[in-house]
Amino acid sequence: MTWLTLLAWPAFAAHELTHAAVAYPQASVSVGLRSRRPYAEMDWTAGTPRPWIRLAHLAPTIVGCLVTAIVIATSTPLLLGLLPSNPFLAAAVGLIALNNWMAYCYPGAGDRDPFGAGNLDADHGGEDAWSA
């Protein structure tokens, strides 16, 4: 495990827990560790609306973007005050925060296409992902 991965481990855990929290009302959810990486698996109940599945898979990206906007709006004065006094500390904190933000927000292949190639799924009638 690289040191960047180790520093971003809390973000990976939060990413998977966000999937689980959004999926929980419509799925049986299990979370855990696999090869020292957190994971969340969802077993969707029959008739789950396809937009809900999409939302659960993209939830960390949506939440991460909203949180980023709030953090930027509220922390800019703090960061501007920190920069002149200790630029090395400000740069280090910024790089660690950016690494964690990317680890949390970036949607993996399964998040971008939860229904597999072609967005068709036998359990959901084979409709387009947003047609349900």
Asked whether the beta carbons of 54 and 130 are under 8 A apart, the reply is: yes
**What pTM was computed for the model?**
0.66
Residue 118 CA, chain-centre distance (Å), reads 23
In the chain, the amino acid numbered 96 is I
Spell out the per-residue pLDDT of the chain, length 132, in tens: 677 777 888 888 999 999 999 999 999 999 999 888 888 999 999 999 989 999 999 999 999 888 887 877 667 667 666 666 777 777 777 778 888 888 888 888 888 888 776 544 444 433 333 333
Asked whether the beta carbons of 49 and 71 are under 8 A apart, the reply is: no
Non-local (6+) Cβ contacts of 131 within 8 A are: 50
Give the chain's end-to-end CA distance (angstroms, integer). 41
